[in-house]
Amino acid sequence: MGVGRLSLGKSRIEALSDGVFSIAMTLLVLKLEVPEVMHHSSNQAMLQQLLALTPAFLTYAVTFLIAGGFWYVHHLTFHLIRSVDGLLVWINLLFLMFVALLPFSAGLMSHLLVHPVSQLFYYGNQLAIAALLSVHWKYARSRNLIGDSRETLGLTQITSAATAGFAACLIIAIFLPGYSWMPLPIIVCGWLIVSLLKRRRHSRPFDNI
């Protein structure tokens, strides 16, 4: 029997995924550097130092929320997946590899907010996460690894829309880097959260999550 055909328990991969997400999301805050000011500095000087960190704070907040959205969708998928096979494990590992990269890409973005390369790297990272999450879910459906299929279409739409949204961010970053830095991720993140809340309110299969 090939490794790709093995039926495996899902608890270990869920535990690993939660651990990677929690560490990556915690490490995001380390990119916020405390300003080096003297004790006798005026309030105005201190405020100016903090205002200079606005791009870093904005990048931190948006990236944390987007990562939280990805974690929630990933959690919903594994609520429906009854078992995993070898290939799904590797797809999930690739997904987690890009999740673990978020602190670096967010740090790059916070220091070089409007630089085309930092934007391409940041949006490329987010696109890879969204695309692999979509592939992971569609593969699980195609291999009949889903235990309860009543709500699968909504998750397919959400993962596909997130992939399309970050692909649009990446395309705009290539051609119009000055207009792509944060509004689009905020829109994508906000839409994702609203969609998840609506889904949570109207779907019965997730009542016990």
Other Cβ atoms within 10 Å of 109 Cβ, number? 28
**Could you tell me if residue 58 is inside a domain?**
yes
**Could you tell me if residue 32 is inside a domain?**
yes
**Could you tell me if residue 87 is inside a domain?**
yes
Residue tagged 């889903």 (tokens): 146
The packing angle between helices 11-27 and 102-111, to 10°, is 20
- CB 10 within 8 Å of CB 81: yes
**Could you tell me if residue 201 is inside a domain?**
yes
Other Cβ atoms within 10 Å of 161 Cβ, number? 16
Other Cβ atoms within 10 Å of 105 Cβ, number? 22
**Could you tell me if residue 15 is inside a domain?**
yes
C-alpha span between 137 and 92 (Å, rounded): 10
Give one word for 152, left, alpha or beta, with left for phi > 0 and alpha for psi -120 to 50: alpha
The pair of structure tokens assigned to 6 is 């093995």
**Could you tell me if residue 3 is inside a domain?**
no
**Could you tell me if residue 1 is inside a domain?**
no
**Could you tell me if residue 2 is inside a domain?**
no
Residue tagged 């003297």 (tokens): 38
Other Cβ atoms within 10 Å of 26 Cβ, number? 11
Question: pLDDT tens string for the chain (209 positions)?
Answer: 444 455 567 888 999 999 999 999 999 998 777 777 656 667 777 777 777 778 888 889 889 989 999 999 999 999 888 888 889 999 999 999 999 999 999 998 888 777 788 888 999 999 999 999 999 999 998 888 887 655 566 788 888 888 888 888 888 888 877 665 655 555 655 566 556 656 555 554 454 45
Other Cβ atoms within 10 Å of 135 Cβ, number? 17
What are residue 8's DSSP bridge partners? 84
pLDDT recorded at residue 130? 94
Domain count, the chain: 1
Angle CA(64)–CA(90)–CA(23) in degrees, nearest 5? 25
Q: Residue 143's domain spans which residues?
A: 8-206
